[in-house]
């Protein structure tokens, strides 16, 4: 006989153990996060039972910078191979929803919430090179050590950014550059290279982990050409000023780069309304206790509506939207 837990009581032994397990896991991440991986996949299953149209609802919630927080995460949710995923940045889910950029077709993505994370995709060069624009970079063809991001959240964006300027990583190699690929913006080799001056160029996002250090050591953030920005906008990106966020420095307001802000939590259009509603309710319950990639705890309305630090350009899931409207966050 197939196991079916739909008749269990609200505080049955089964639910007690499940609740304890999730809280122990959360406590371990609070106490010793570096002992654990950042790749998390939580699965709520119906052991031995076929899927059904009513509660309880089986679903998966995945968080992993390695395999499901970028393009692949959006595709897995769109294909309903994952039910909920946390994506970085917001522009990925916007492109997926519209079927633009790296997505060949529109995906049925819906938002449950969006978290703040102000960021930009940039190209920074050592001030010793005397380069102030992309045109000067192309003209001087400096043979430098270049720290370049390599991960599913940004690979496609760097490729598009360089292509819009008539460049590629192979172009840099032809100039004599040495490419140092890094998976995380906070890579120690990058940090040490900035301090020593050995690092001639950085292409990445995640400015909170290296941007201020680069400013302190005289690195120049190159404005993207208007022609390239128009190409990138047609591809699906959105331009944004370099200054005005967490990056400290007296930046020219005319310097425009690519917006890379936001951490949206997404699902697909067939995710049960009841679960989406309860997701939003649970988020409100813990809102003031959880960490944010921002200077302060955002109001619940910002998680529902989006903000400059957290763009939200795809529809909310109807269940989550119902919760936000009932509680006047929309």
**237 CB contacts (<8 Å, ≥6 apart)?**
91, 101, 157, 160, 258, 259
Segments forming the whole domain that contains residue 244? 120-259
d(CA 40, CA 112): 18
Statement to judge: residues 70 and 100 lie in one domain: yes
Domain final position from 259, 275, 304 = 259
My answer on whether 239 and 284 are in the same domain is: no
Domain end, chosen from 235, 259, 283, is at: 259
The reply to whether 76 and 89 lie within a common domain is yes
Residues 246 and 217 occupy one common structural domain: yes
- Diameter over CA atoms, the chain: 74
Looking from the CA of 87 toward its CB, the CA atoms found within 13 Å total: 36
pLDDT, position 79: 97
Domain identity same for 159 and 216: yes
Q: Are residues 322 and 202 in the same domain?
A: no
One domain, residues 149 and 227: yes
Do 244 and 291 have their domain in common? no
d(CA 187, CA 210): 9
In tens digits, the chain (330 residues) has pLDDT values of 455 555 556 667 878 888 899 999 999 999 998 899 888 999 988 766 556 677 888 899 999 888 899 999 999 999 999 999 999 999 999 999 999 999 999 999 999 999 999 999 999 999 999 999 999 999 999 999 999 999 999 999 999 999 999 999 999 999 999 999 999 999 999 999 999 999 999 999 999 999 999 999 999 999 999 999 999 999 999 999 998 888 888 888 889 999 999 999 999 999 999 999 999 999 999 999 999 999 999 999 999 999 999 999 999 999 999 999 999 999
Tell me 310's DSSP state: B
Are 243 and 150 members of one domain? yes
Q: Which residue has the tokens 């899927």?
A: 51
CATH number (domain holding residue 141): 3.40.190.10
CA 110 to CA 74: how far, in whole Å? 10
303 and 187 in a common domain: no
- 128 with 251, same domain? yes
CATH number at residue 273: 3.40.190
Of the three residues 236, 259, 282, the one that is the final residue of a domain is 259
Q: Would you say how long the chain is, in residues?
A: 330
Q: Tally the domains of the chain.
A: 2
Same domain? For 142 and 238 the reply is yes
State the pTM of this model: 0.93
């Amino acid at each position: 006989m197939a196991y079916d837990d739909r008749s269990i009581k609200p505080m049955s032994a089964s639910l007690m153990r499940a609740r304890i397990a999730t809280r122990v896991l959360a406590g371990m991440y609070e106490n010793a996060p570096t002992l654990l991986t950042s790749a998390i996949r939580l699965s709520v299953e119906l052991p031995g039972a076929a899927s059904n149209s009513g509660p309880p609802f089986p679903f998966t919630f995945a968080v992993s910078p390695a395999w499901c927080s970028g393009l692949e995460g959006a595709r897995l949710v769109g294909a309903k191979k994952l039910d909920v995923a946390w994506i970085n940045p917001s522009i990925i889910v916007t492109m997926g929803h519209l079927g633009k950029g790296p997505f060949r077709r529109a995906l049925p993505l819906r938002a449950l919430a969006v978290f703040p994370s102000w960021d930009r995709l940039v190209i920074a060069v050592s001030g010793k090179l005397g380069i102030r624009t992309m045109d000067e970079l192309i003209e001087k063809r400096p043979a430098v050590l270049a720290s370049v991001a390599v991960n599913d959240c940004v690979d496609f964006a760097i490729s598009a950014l360089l292509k819009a300027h008539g460049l590629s990583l192979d172009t840099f190699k032809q100039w004599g550059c040495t490419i140092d690929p890094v998976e995380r913006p906070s890579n120690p080799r990058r940090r040490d290279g900035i301090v020593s001056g050995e690092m001639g160029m950085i292409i990445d996002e995640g400015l909170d982990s290296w941007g201020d250090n680069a400013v302190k050591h005289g690195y120049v953030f190159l404005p993207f050409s208007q022609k390239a920005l128009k190409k990138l906008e047609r591809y699906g990106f959105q331009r944004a000023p370099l200054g005005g966020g967490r990056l400290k420095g007296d930046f020219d307001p005319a310097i425009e780069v690519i917006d890379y802000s936001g951490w949206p939590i997404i699902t697909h259009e067939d995710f049960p309304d009841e679960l989406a509603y309860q997701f939003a309710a649970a988020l409100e319950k813990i809102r003031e206790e959880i960490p944010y990639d921002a200077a302060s705890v955002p109001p619940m309305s910002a998680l529902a509506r989006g903000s400059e630090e957290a763009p939200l350009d795809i529809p909310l899931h109807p269940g989550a939207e119902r919760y936000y409207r009932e509680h006047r966050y929309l």
